[in-house]
A and B are shown apart, each in its own frame.
Chain A
């Protein structure tokens, strides 16, 4: 697969624009998944997907043939998501939402009784988790998503974020601390 990816990249660089379509089709789902997990919503994730493939196309000459295209595009996707999440207007939007909706911090408790109640509670837990995730900084959120949800190693996370491994580890640790603190009411009543 890696060999065919490289031959496709060579074809694209030789002027066959349509050959890039094969790489887009093969990697769109994976890019969307990580984009959605970092961005937290579908609209942003879609934009990140478009931006990722566009940026990759523009930098295709820098693609190192020794790495897999899937790994390379994944890193670009994380960077696109990170820069999008780090944008001030997005942070302001999150803060604005947080201040205007104090009730959002109120978390209902789950019980293991009736199914409809559990379903409702499940949704509330998800909402609380989403809110807690949005309170993280872009780097913390990104590092946590990569470590906890995407199960990437600390080395990979450090490389993607462009930081030292220890800094990446600290980002994950801070994210965990914040999330545990935010979600503590759920645990206490669970």
Chain B
């Protein structure tokens, strides 16, 4: 039978012994006697009497200690506060950059969207506008053509017909002036020139207070109304082609 070692006795003493060691201690008289001696020897080692300290001992310790302590705030004013400051600044700069980047991105997207919309709107608007201008101008040229045909075949003796011709000329004169100026501004010298010649004919007819057959003959011959009529017909033939072509932007805007 193996007896308890001193180490096992120590474990039992501090209540950390194994169950088998405890059982052996109960069963073995030799070990029990040995353990009793062991226990007595350890029991004899009593805690030293610690000197009594008054209730103000903690206060005394604190009084001696506090002069040696540096407040954490003051300690933080050195390298730590510098790194804190740097890290704060870095964080602020980083956040600022992120906000700017996001704003630029969103702004870019919005601007692109707005621009494309505007462009599409402009393109969409320009097309009908161009179409309207061409239609209106064509209408004007049609009426002018009819007037010139009527003038070339007018019966000088018919005063009523002359008066109607004069009235029509007055109406066309105002609009013709407007188209001529617009064509000139748009950089269309051919149209502007034709409209200018037409304007002079219209002005002659419209502004004559007593339009006689002699006056009409003079206008027809002097102002070459047949030539102007030809020009008007050329313009009428040109306008629908311009509308569909890529250079259709050239025209008259009111």
Which residues of chain A from 15 to 32 have a CB within 8 Å of any chain B CB? 15-18, 20-21, 24-29, 32
The size class of the interface chain A forms with chain B is: 35 or more
Q: Which of A20, A24, A177 contacts B6 (CB 8 A)?
A: A177
Q: Please indicate the chain A residues that have their CB under 8 angstroms from the CB of B46 in the complex.
A: 129
Cβ contact within 8 Å between B41 and A180:
yes
In chain A, residues 55-72, which have Cβ atoms closer than 8 Å to a Cβ of chain B? 57, 60
Secondary structure at the B interface, as helix, strand, loop or mixed, is: helix
Return the CB mask of A111-154 against B: 1 if under 8 Å, else 0: 00000000000000110011000000000000000011100001
Q: Which of chain B's residues have a CB closer than 8 A to the CB of A186?
A: 44
> B45 touching A42 by the CB < 8 A rule?
no
Task: State whether A24 touches B51 (Cβ < 8 A).
Answer: no
Whether B45 lies near A28 (C-beta < 8 A) is no
Binds A, one of B22-30, B56-64, B167-175, B195-203: B56-64
B124 at the interface (CB under 8 A from A): no
The reply on B128 being an interface residue by CB < 8 A is no
Question: Given A15-B72, A25-B58, A176-B42, does the pair A54, B48 have CB atoms closer than 8 Å?
Answer: no
Residue B7 at the chain A interface, CB threshold 8 Å: yes
CB distance from B148 to the nearest CB of A (A): 100
B53 within 8 Å of A (CB atoms) = yes
Question: Does B122 lie at the interface of the complex (its beta carbon under 8 Å from any beta carbon of A)?
Answer: no
CB-CB under 8 A from B51, the residues of chain A are 36, 42
Given the complex, which residues of A lie within 8 Å of B71, measured CB to CB? Answer: 15-17
* A18 surroundings in chain B (CB, below 8 A): 66
Q: Is B10 an interface residue (CB 8 A)?
A: yes
Choice from A26, A50, A172, A183 contacting B58 with Cβ under 8 Å: A26
Task: Return 19 A-B CB contacts under 8 Å, by A number.
Answer: A14-B73, A15-B73, A25-B61, A28-B61, A29-B53, A29-B57, A32-B50, A32-B53, A36-B50, A49-B61, A50-B65, A54-B69, A130-B48, A148-B45, A149-B47, A176-B6, A176-B10, A183-B45, A187-B40
The chain A residues found within 8 Å of chain B, CB to CB, are 12-18, 20-21, 24-29, 32-33, 36-37, 40, 42, 49-50, 53-54, 57, 60, 125-126, 129-130, 147-149, 154, 172-173, 176-177, 179-180, 183-184, 186-187, 190
